[in-house]
Amino acid sequence: MFRRRGHLLAILFILPAAVVYGLFILYPLVRDVLMSFTDNTGGPASAFVGADQYRTLLGDPVARDALWHTVVYAAVVLVVQTTLGLLFATLLTRRPRIRRTVSSVLLLPALMSPVMASFIWSYLYRPDGGINTFLGSIGLHALQQIWLGDASIALYAIAAVNIWMFAGYSCIIFLAGYAGIPQELLDAADLDGAGWWQRFRKVEWAMLAPALTVNVTLSLIGSLGVFDYPLVLTGGGPVGSTNTLALLVYQDIFRNSDFGMGAATAVVLLVLVLVVSSSAGALLRRRERVL
Amino acid sequence: MKLRGRVLDVLLVLAALVFIAPFLFTLIASFRTPADLARDPLGWPDALTLANYRASIGQIRYLSSALNTIVLTLASCVAVSVLGALASYPLGRFTARWTSVAYRLFAVGLTVPVFVVIGPLYLLMRDLHLLDNRLGLVIIYTALNLPVSVFFYTSFVRQIPVELEEAAAIDGCGPLRTFFTVVFPLLRPITGTLLTFVSLQVWNNLVIPLVFLQDPAKSTVMANAYSLADPHTLQPAQLFPAALLGALPLFLLFLIFQRQVIQGMTAGAVK
Amino acid sequence: MIFSRRSFAALSALLMIAPVAACGSGDSGSADGKVTLKVAGWKGGGAEPANVAEINAAFAKANPDINLEFSYVPPNDVYQQKLQSQLLAGNAPDVFMADPQKVQAWGKSGYLADLSSQGWAGGVADKLKPYVSYQDKVLAAPMELSPVGVFVNLDLLAKAGVTKPPADFPGMLSTLAALKAKGQPGLALPDAQGFMAEFVLLMSAATTVYQQTPDWDQQFTAGKVTFPGSYQEPLNQLKQIGDGGYVDFKSAVGTDESTTGQPDFIAGKSAMFPGGAWLAAAISKASFKTAFIPWPGGAAGADPSVLLFPGTMWAVNAKTKQSDAAHKYLDFWARSANLAPYLKAEVAISPFKDAGAAADPLLETMAAAYTAGRYTLFPSNSWDLADPETKIRSILQGFLLGKTDVPATLQAIQSAASAGS
């Protein structure tokens, strides 16, 4: 259609979205990028400081750590959440009788707001809280931890809350993917005498490509920009071990009134998102095309 | 075989229960008295009470704020999916240098922390007279969620066979009509997923209603719940009922639309 | 087709309404000759009514020509976000609440009106003056001084055979030892958010540093004193508490101050819990006898000083067209009789020199120390500003986790604090 009518028609289709998005997100964002080259503290006056903010930022060990924490956090959430979702979906799709009830139940955590969920988990994570009590009661005293007070595990403990919230959501997306696999393909695989694992690897996994794309994208969007879970659970501690880029932006703006630095940090985060999302997108598209 | 299936069912249900145990803890705790809960947070309750809920419902103006949030969520969902799908149609079909630039510009917005753009956005909303206005909120939510929408729709548009549209065009359908009768229905599978995501975003957002609305009567459930929580003394007896009440309409909405969403996903994928 | 037409209508509506939808107005005069004064604060609604409505009603009664419009804005990030945007957009209220950090940030941006010539300005407690000022101009009217101290469960102390709360550091250690010996819960120092260790350090310093050098902050800014030189004792007190086995620091770092520490104290799971007077209202609901004391930081027999947090203040919008009404409003709040209900609700001490000691019985010890001049203000406008404060909290968590010893910790605080001032 566009081949015949050309650019004008394409522009007309894009225009409404472009206007809303351009005016209300891109334009403020551009102002934000400009601000990252100033020493703005939230007022009308600010001086141009060139790339100073970026130099300070890249030289600051706290910011470099936060970049690393963000990447680790996103990777852990991506892998564990997707795997759990896939596992639940793979089992549930074979058990139609309980599928709907169980998947609805698994979705419950996703419906709470992240802030509220974090408050709930701060009760469970306290040293004498639910998690440790549970581990003690099943005889796993060795696994008891000071979950949010140990710099080497706090980041993973926070990632676990994120995973807990959205693994059920991931499962539902995969279930929909399973529902879309044509029965003939599965029957053909069965006729070939393929086992459970063979069938999954040769047929289902390939057919789940679109669902995987959706899951990976949503998980990356949520986890690369994460700030509310660490904000409520640890405030970035202990000893800065759960600082993420978005949390630094938040603190620059709300605690330090350092809008210039907050803007510069946000730009670094944007670049990270662009790099990760475009490389993930390319990988996933290649997988979908192979089919 | 049958027995193994039964066992698997039981194991799955058990696993699901363990998985949502923190949620169950919240649910039980929300019916306990503050003193009882503080004495032994994990223990069995002495007695259950509805007092926490009664207090919460009044404080957060539950009925009106829930209604507000539902309207806001639905309006944002419609706008995000229609605008996003319209834009993605040429973005996925038409390859020119500018379309790939446009696509990249949308991708930039995938993870913009809201608080980064709030300053300039506030000035803009003031100039458009959209402060303290629910429509203003719908526009902001739409703009914020368009990148995800465009991202998903574009990749799905690429999978739709061109022949279908060409047939419609030959039948004399105009481009808009072709889009809404042929293309948009084919995008149903991803629309379900997208709208679940957008609903969660809109429903649970705190900052935007609190900054852009003045009147608590216009505000959302979560914003009202949050603004009434005491920052120094977070009382679970106050917080937990609010958290659950806040999520309840969303859960009901999901149950109502679940069938459509799943059916949509299935119907689209079989094509 | 119906579907398509409808959604298209929705879409075009979405794009076109912007110019039509109008709301609000910047005009604050009205036909009946009354002026409208817009006031915003993060107290006076939500979980902290703080008697603001009562005081506002009294003001309205005394000033029938002023139409007072008070709006409550939720605290912390929301307040900051909202007011910051409004100030930038030029539609902020005429009078709004502030705190020392906001006075500095907004003063620098030129958002706040100069109040130096106001009658009450001369009556502000001397040590508090710098906190309401930016570059020697008074930009805010203080509303309170909030004591930071230790809440004590007297019933638990009695069970350990201790009849009154400790008044000096040896007394603190022996009280903790007695509680431990009797198997009673002891001191709680939850530090997940990082501010508990900072509180203890500063509360101890109020006695062990500032009693000798009242102008320590200014001397530090001038480079005359250092943390390794002055802060040995405060940090050592923390260390002794850990070494004595009275607090498990590793566990403390994983415990949240607000969501865990405070409910635990109310439930009788700790005998002593440091915190600000702003927690008093919730703690007063506990079923045991409570005392609220300054950190007993002094040597045997020495009286402790109290650490005071300069809390809320009123500032006037530099762009206001209602200066007269705004000034009247601040003046009204600055009078002891009018301010009293607020102080009562906040369990705070008056920030003005002429006011008597606090009426609240819980503040007895605190007020006595204040009247005797034994007090220090939280250094939140000099070296302990936002960014250094975040770093210092992180450094102290490292100390609690045993990652750094006393000298290294003080050295790290020294460089974090110097970078900020």
Range of the domain at B51: 31-266
| pLDDT for residue C16 | 38
CB distance from A186 to chain B under 8 Å?
Answer: no
> How close is the nearest chain C Cα to the Cα of A43, in Å?
5
Domain C146-309+372-420 bears CATH identifier 3.40.190.10: yes
Domain range enclosing A127: 60-290
Chains contacting chain A through 3 or more C-beta pairs under 8 A: B, C
| Total structural domains within chain A | 1
The answer to whether B117 contacts chain C (CB < 8 Å) is: no
Instruction: Express each pLDDT in C270-305 by its tens digit.
Output: 999 999 998 888 888 888 999 999 999 999 999 999
Instruction: Confirm or reject contact between A85 and chain B (CB < 8 A).
Output: no
Q: How far is C39 from chain B (nearest CA, A)?
A: 13
What ipTM was predicted for this assembly? 0.86
Whether residue A5 lies inside any domain: the answer is: no
**Residue A145 maps to a domain:** yes
- The pLDDT tens digits along chain C (421 residues) read 233 344 444 434 433 333 333 333 344 445 567 899 999 999 988 778 889 999 999 999 999 999 999 998 888 878 888 898 889 888 899 999 999 989 988 998 899 999 999 999 999 988 899 999 999 899 999 999 999 999 999 999 999 999 999 999 999 999 999 999 999 999 999 999 899 999 999 999 999 999 999 999 999 999 999 999 999 999 999 999 999 999 999 999 999 888 888 888 998 999 999 999 988 888 888 889 999 999 999 999 999 999 999 999 999 999 999 999 999 999 999 999 999 999 999 999 999 987 766 668 888 889 889 989 999 999 987 887 778 898 999 999 999 999 999 999 999 999 999 986 5
Residue A82: closest CA among A216, A200, A241, A182: A216
Nearest Cβ partner of C262 from B179, B226, B233? B233
Shortest Cα–Cα distance, A61 to chain B (Å): 22
Q: What phi and psi values does residue B260 have, to the nearest 5 degrees?
A: -60, -45
- Assess if residue B1 is contained within a domain: no
What is the C-alpha to C-alpha distance for residues A263 and A258, in angstroms, rounded to an integer?
9
- The per-residue pLDDT for A5 is 60
B243 Cβ neighbours under 8 A, 6+ residues apart? A112, A113, A116, A117, A119, A120, B26, B30, B225
Amino acid at C195: F
Instruction: State the virtual CA torsion across C5, C10, C15, C19 in degrees, nearest 10.
Output: 120
Residue B24 in any domain: the answer is: no
How do the domains of chain C map onto residue ranges? 11-144+311-351, 146-309+372-420
- What pLDDT is recorded for position C356? 67
Q: Which residue of B has its CA nearest to C282?
A: B233
CA dist B222 and B26 (Å) reads: 17
Answer yes or no: do B156 and A210 touch at CB < 8 A: yes
The phi, psi pair for B42, rounded to 5°, reads: -100, -5
Query: Token digits for C221?
Result: 């800014």
Q: What is the CATH number of the domain that holds B83?
A: 1.10.3720.10
* Phi, psi at C182, each rounded to 5°: -90, 5
Task: Indicate whether B198 belongs to any domain.
Answer: yes
Restricting to A residues 109-148, those with a Cβ less than 8 Å away from any Cβ of B are: 109-117, 119-121, 123-124, 129-130, 133
The series of mean pLDDT values per 10 residues for chain A, 291 residues long, is 70 93 93 86 77 88 94 97 95 87 89 86 87 89 91 96 94 86 82 81 85 88 90 89 92 82 89 85 72 50
Place of tokens 């210039």: A260
Q: Is-contact C38 C71, C-beta < 8 A?
A: yes
Q: Please report the pLDDT score of residue C10 as a whole number.
A: 41
Q: What distance in Å separates the CA atoms of residue B231 and residue C74, rounded to the nearest whole number?
A: 9
Beta carbons of C47 and B230 less than 8 Å apart: yes
pLDDT averaged over 10-residue windows placed end to end, chain B, 271 residues: 81 91 89 81 81 84 89 95 94 83 87 79 88 92 94 83 78 82 83 87 86 82 76 71 87 77 50 35
Cβ distance B87 to A104 less than 8 Å, yes or no, reads no
Q: Count structural domains, chain B.
A: 1
- Same topology between domain C11-144+311-351 and domain C146-309+372-420: yes
Question: At A232, which CATH number?
Answer: 1.10.3720.10
Per-residue model confidence as pLDDT tens digits over A171-204: 988 988 888 788 888 888 877 877 888 888 888 8
Per-residue pLDDT tens over the stretch A102-150: 988 898 999 888 888 888 898 889 888 888 988 988 888 889 999 999 9
Q: pLDDT per residue over C212-234, tens digit each?
A: 999 999 999 999 999 999 999 99
Which residues in chain A have Cβ-Cβ distances shorter than 8 Å to B226?
115
Say whether B135 and C82 touch across the interface (CB within 8 A). Answer: no
Mean pLDDT of all residues in chain C? 88
Q: Which residues in chain A have their CB less than 8 angstroms from residue B120's CB?
A: 27-28, 31-32
Residue A31 lies in a domain: no
Compute the C-alpha angle A16/A22/A25, nearest 5°: 125
In the A/C pair of chains, how many CB contacts fall below 8 A? 112
Q: Which residues pair with C72 in a beta bridge?
A: C41
Q: Which of B5, B116, B155 sits opposite A249 (nearest CB)?
A: B116
The answer to whether the CB of C242 falls within 8 A of the CB of C400 is: yes
Quote the pLDDT of residue C312.
95
pLDDT of C1: 29
Q: Do B155 and A104 touch (CB under 8 A)?
A: no
What's C11-144+311-351's CATH class? alpha beta
pTM value is: 0.88
Tell me whether B136 touches chain C (CB under 8 Å).
Answer: yes
